[in-house]
Amino acid sequence: MNDAVATVEPVAAAASAAAELRERYDERRSIEARIDDVGRGRVEAAADAYRHAIRVLDRYEEDATGTGDFGSYVRFEGEFEAATDVDDDVPASEAFAAANEAVDKRRLSESDFDAAREALEPAGEYVSLLERRDEAVDDFRRARHDAREARDRLADHLTDREAVADRDHVDLDAPVETISEPVDAYNEAVREAFESFLRNESTREVFDLLETAERYPLVDIDQPPRDLREYAADHAAGEEPLPTLLEYADYSQSKLDHYVDDPGALRTAVAVHRTWIDRLDGEPFTLAWPPKPAEELRYRIKELTPLASRFADEETVALLRTVRDRTREDDYETIREAAVTRAELDETDRELLASGDIHDRVAAARDVLDLIETVLAETAE
């Protein structure tokens, strides 16, 4: 699609593309009708004869004029007479006869050649007509291409608008904060608790927690690389916190000798996994927002509770129970739908939904989609 169409709002772009296609189709049909009225074969014959005659004029003008080469003059006369010898049925046949008469002289000048070209102009109109037809065909095909793309964009736009309109039952004024506040409080607390856990507990303890988390399918957390896990299990340095091991990996050989029994093993197991260690955080233990359906959220909380209890305080775990209890209240689904809608729709769509104007937008998009489909069908080649 051309840039002008692509940057316009889909409904307006489709309406414009439909109008452009109709105009280009009518223009093509008009030119083709003019050709058909004369006869396609007759028009092409006139155009071919005109091109041939002009080529002869251009080729011999310099040599056959004035006191030029007599042989060129003779060849010109013969070739031009043959080029302008057209059937009476050829359109503008009199123009060819007039052009031949203009140069039927014993001695030719540039003005005679100009006169011949001028006499041929009525036949040249048929060349222009065929060129305009070719341009009209190209313009029409581009317009159909643009219209199809505009139609597809509008269809996608309509699907999106219908999805927004389908939310017209959602109460956007529902008290979302009754769920968002305990979720936000829990997420903040559990992230901080896990960071503290990483900084203060042994690498073995952290890995044990991660291994335990693997048994809970809704808690998606990357497991430690095998060589790192084996190093922590087999070396005394595994009693150190994971950030400490990462710090050790940056020490010089002589300094590291004072902290670990096998500096080479530490560098091999720890330094190469810096990216994994840096990515490790408490995010897998958080609750998603907007909230999941009640049953799914309760199941996730059931899995998170024993894991969070391993590194977070009771107040943090209690927030999980608060959210769980909230899922059992009658208005939970109403509030969840409001939260989902607020999160997924931008301010403009929320305003359209609240005002009910979204249904007018859907109707307008459907009307224009019907229009452009009709124009595409009626202008099919």
Burial class of residue 199, CB neighbours in 10 A (0-12, 13-18, 19+): exposed
CA distance 128 to 46: 11
**Contact indicator for 183, 291 with CB cutoff of 8 Å:** yes
CA distance 66 to 263: 103
What is residue 273's DSSP assignment? Answer: G
User: pTM for the whole thing?
Assistant: 0.70
**Tens-place pLDDT, residues 190-220:** 999 999 999 999 999 999 999 999 999 999 9
**Tens-place pLDDT, residues 280-304:** 999 999 999 999 999 999 999 999 9
3-state SS assignment for residue 65: strand
Q: What are phi and psi of 201, to 5 degrees?
A: -95, 160
Residue-level pLDDT, tens digit, the chain, 381 residues: 344 334 349 999 999 999 999 999 999 999 999 999 999 999 999 999 999 999 988 888 777 665 556 777 788 888 888 999 888 889 998 998 999 888 888 777 788 888 999 999 999 999 999 999 999 999 999 999 999 999 999 999 999 999 999 999 999 999 999 999 999 999 999 999 999 999 999 999 999 999 999 999 999 999 999 999 998 998 888 999 999 998 877 776 767 666 677 777 878 888 889 999 999 999 999 999 999 999 999 999 999 999 999 999 999 999 999 999 999 999 999 999 999 999 999 999 999 999 999 999 999 999 999 999 999 999 997
CA-to-CA separations, 63 to 41, 72, 80, 81, 107, in angstroms, rounded: 34, 6, 14, 17, 12
Rounded to 10 degrees, the C-alpha dihedral 245/247/251/256 comes to -30
**Contact indicator for 365, 140 with CB cutoff of 8 Å:** no
CA-to-CA separations, 348 to 173, 177, 264, 345, in angstroms, rounded: 16, 21, 59, 8
CB half-sphere exposure, 226, CA atoms < 13 A:
0
3-state SS assignment for residue 221: coil
Burial class of residue 120, CB neighbours in 10 A (0-12, 13-18, 19+): buried
Q: Which residue has the tokens 């608790």?
A: 193
**Contact indicator for 334, 325 with CB cutoff of 8 Å:** no
**In the structure encoding, which two tokens stand for residue 161, read together?**
């608008």
**Contact indicator for 60, 75 with CB cutoff of 8 Å:** yes
